[in-house]
Structure 1
């Protein structure tokens, strides 16, 4: 088995544990992410071209962090989700991290719509979206000023991140 396959297996294990934990407790443990990061670092260092692998890993990490951080800053995502995407980017590099982010948004959007409909919160969700958009359009408005009066509900976004990751990994191996 090549190093990349071990890396992908470890990534699959990490996102699966994170998704189950997020479903059960609504938290993604830092210890899990640190263990995944350490494992990915070790495997990148063992690759045929460790310098190239580590450069790609750090670039992927920055991309994963940069893509999800704005959602955290407007309180649309938890810090664990952002950290998880950064660690996934470290595993995969920037190209796959971007693919995973796109698929995660798709999975998360479907999950959000289903939860809103099941919880009968469609009207509240639309009001909140309008409130957020009006805060961004108004000049001089800070993200703290766009606090929502009531949440339409939270969801375990680690599950959506895991789904996006799994789809990318499955398509790689056909």
Structure 2
């Protein structure tokens, strides 16, 4: 049985629901992600080559986790966003998870720029970026780094929306509506 259309439909439903929840509450429910992952795993088990499909799901989960975890560790992203990308990887496998993450970074970058410009916080964001990079640059030169001054946030975006956008663009390109790759 070809599970791809069912898997992609479930993935589309998952990322849409997660984006809506992220927009309304700035949280992505763990239960929603767990239900999606369990659905994807069930579909992988029903595929013609379940072992291969499950190994692909594991690789996709690891890739989704690996590409966003550093941002979470630097406090630039919430844990729900990282878990959402890992869940997307369970559906897609490693290669597509990486493509979706790149598309999500692009969508997120556009979203951030729009929010910073609309709220007039672009200068603060650039100052925060400099404050993050300066200690790294000084350490590379073996110079003492300044004390972290706890700068105010320039703002945040519901990154689940960016992940959903990247996933949707990927799925649309896969089914031929607009070839992007």
Q: TM-score, normalised by structure 1?
A: 0.94
* Residues 146 and 32 (structure 1), Cα distance of their counterparts in 2 relative to 1, 3 Å cut: farther
Cα displacement (A) at 1:146: 5.1
How many residues align? The count is: 170
Shift >3 Å, 4+ stretches: 145-148
Q: Distance in 1 between matches of 2:131 and 2:107?
A: 24
Structure 1 position 121 matched with structure 2 position 112: no
Report what 1:167 is aligned to: 169
Report what 1:25 is aligned to: 25
What does residue range 28-107 of structure 1 map to in structure 2 within 5 Å? 28-107=28-107
Cα displacement (A) at 1:136: 2.5
Report what 1:158 is aligned to: 160
Unmatched tracts of structure 1, length 5 or more:
none
* Residues 146 and 66 (structure 1), Cα distance of their counterparts in 2 relative to 1, 3 Å cut: farther
RMSD (Å), alpha carbons = 1.4
Q: Distance in 2 between matches of 1:72 and 1:138?
A: 23
Cα displacement (A) at 1:35: 0.2
* Residues 101 and 138 (structure 1), Cα distance of their counterparts in 2 relative to 1, 3 Å cut: same
Cα displacement (A) at 1:5: 0.7
Unmatched tracts of structure 2, length 5 or more:
177-181
Contact 2:69 2:82 in 1 (8 A): yes
Cα displacement (A) at 1:4: 1.0
* Residues 10 and 84 (structure 1), Cα distance of their counterparts in 2 relative to 1, 3 Å cut: same
* Residues 44 and 132 (structure 1), Cα distance of their counterparts in 2 relative to 1, 3 Å cut: same
In terms of fraction of residues, the more helix-rich structure is 1
